[in-house]
Amino acid sequence: MEVDVFVGNTTVLDEDVYQLWLDGHTVTDALRIRMETGALQECEANAEVLHVVFLVLLICLLQYLSCRCYEFDRVFAREVLDDISSKTGIALKSCRRQVCVFKVVEELKGPLVENTQRHFLLSDCSHRFETGKRKLQYLSFQDFAFCAGQLSSYWTVGAVDNMMEDMDVNLEKEFLHDLQVLKVLVNDKDMLDQHKRHVNNLFRWSLFVIEMEANFKNLSRALVNIASKLIHTKDVRDLFIELVVKFVEPCRSDKWTIGDLRLFLMHYSSSVHTLEAFRHQVVWDRYMGVIKSCILKMYHD
């Protein structure tokens, strides 16, 4: 018996044959199943010829229906995900998301994390900040996101270098190093006293001046010391907890209103420009611009 195989513009394929392959049957097993079900009774051909025909059909089906190879049986997928979820305690939606990601990168060569970052265009986390301390629990995600945005907008390399082709989200090391020069504001007693007098004069018509004057040196040392230590990775990570413990909480314990705080930070920051012996106004303004915004955002119940 001669068998001619034609491939034309219109191809009719038997999806039942393809389903046998999806179910894991070999060509021989699939042929046997089809013969047992009577699907091939009309063909007057022996098993050897049908084997060849069956193989050709499978090749056509693979080309035409290849996308079905990547489908999961719903009952199977649900059972697997339910099992993973129950064993790990991870929510079903999270399991489903992670399985989808893993399916994409599991066969790629190289480390899994790097493959995931590369395939999904994820950048490395440039800086990690401590946000889980008990004293930070009153802050919302929006608070942290706002402060992170301020850091990214004003303290990174890409924030000040317009020639950068891509936004560099790493904090500028040179700037963090330059922050150490601000220590003169609290280490030089004459400059500290002069700074305090300038701020006091701006509040001389306010009852708030009494509370502010009593706390000025401690608050100033807190802000300057935080700045001078940001050269270290650990201190960058602890930035938020340091601001809360050393500045926000003392002001809150003295019952400063948000208006009091905003006015103090404005005068405290601007009055540095009146200190004749201080020569680092650019670094100071870049530092305090972000710190003021973050403190005001974090100052709430």
Average pLDDT score over the chain: 78
Cα 37 to the center of its chain, rounded Å: 56
pLDDT of residue 18: 67
Confidence of residue 292 (pLDDT cuts 50, 70, 90): very high
pLDDT at 166: 45
What pLDDT is recorded for position 8?
Answer: 54
Higher-confidence position of 284 and 29: 284
Query: Is 90 exceeded by the pLDDT of residue 246?
Result: yes
What pTM did the predictor assign? Answer: 0.58
Q: Residue 299 pLDDT > 80, yes or no?
A: yes
Share of the chain above pLDDT 70, in %: 69
What is the band of 97 on the pLDDT scale with cuts at 50, 70, 90?
confident
